[in-house]
Amino acid sequence: MSDYVGKHLLVDCYGCKKEILLSSAEILNTMSDSAVYLGLNVEDTYFHDGEEEITVSAYGPRSHICIHAYPDMGYVAIDIYSFDPELIPAKTMKAIRALLKPERIRATSVKRGDMSAITDMKPITESKTTALRKFRNTGNRINKAGKKVAHYIVQKREKRDGLGPE
């Protein structure tokens, strides 16, 4: 038995085409295909078409999938949860990519009820932008340090050669 109770996948889809998100049929297809990939036996569904948001949920034994689509923003938030150890939420990513065609996806996987970890709710995330930001910031610090060193060397030479301010 694993040290955690369930698997929770949180997916952010950016840059989705508005016409796809305005189509209730496409959102429902994404839901049903995600359920198939997950292996979820859907027992109940919920659909709400609001002014700014479309929400679709599917519930099965010990699992659920929920999709929130925001057509004007080109954004979709997807929540996939399973208590069932046989169901693997990450399998749904194929259906999500194929049907929503997002420009970018960010997925965060959380082990729910992790009895072995002190930081139970801290999601494990890896972001390419974080690494790039650290690299860029390090480059900026090196650049600033280089300018300070160069300025110091110029001042020393000017002082040595008698060219500096008196």
Identify whether residues 26 and 106 lie together within a single domain. yes
Same-domain check for residues 94 and 145: no
Which residue range(s) make up the domain with 115? Answer: 6-119
Residue 76 identity (one-letter amino acid): V
pTM equals 0.64
Same domain, 54 and 79: yes
What's the pLDDT at 88?
79
Query: Using CA atoms, how far apart are residues 78 and 97, in angstroms rounded to an integer?
Result: 12
| 57 and 89 both lie in a single domain | yes
Say yes or no: 14 and 85 in one domain.
Answer: yes
What's the first-to-final CA gap in the chain, in angstroms? 78
Helical H segments across the chain, by residue range: 18-22, 24-38, 93-100, 128-161
Short-list 7, 124, 3, CA closest to 63: 7
For residue 56, give every residue at least 6 positions away whose Cβ sits within 8 Å of its Cβ, in sequence order, or none: 27, 28, 30, 31, 45, 46, 47, 48, 66, 67, 69
Q: Which pLDDT tens digits describe the chain residue by residue (166 residues)? A: 467 788 888 999 999 998 888 887 888 878 888 888 888 888 888 999 888 999 999 888 888 889 999 999 999 999 988 888 777 777 788 788 888 899 999 998 888 877 676 555 555 665 556 666 776 777 677 777 777 777 777 788 788 887 766 5
pLDDT number for residue 121: 56
**Residues 11 and 44 both lie in one domain:** yes
Question: What Å distances lie between residue 156 and 134, 147, 150, CA to CA?
Answer: 33, 14, 10
36 and 52 inside one domain: yes
Would you state the pLDDT for residue 79? 92
162 & 99 share domain: no
CATH code of residue 59: 3.60.90.10
- Kindly state whether residues 72 and 147 are assigned to the same domain: no
Whether 1 maps to a domain, the answer reads no
Number of domains in the chain: 2
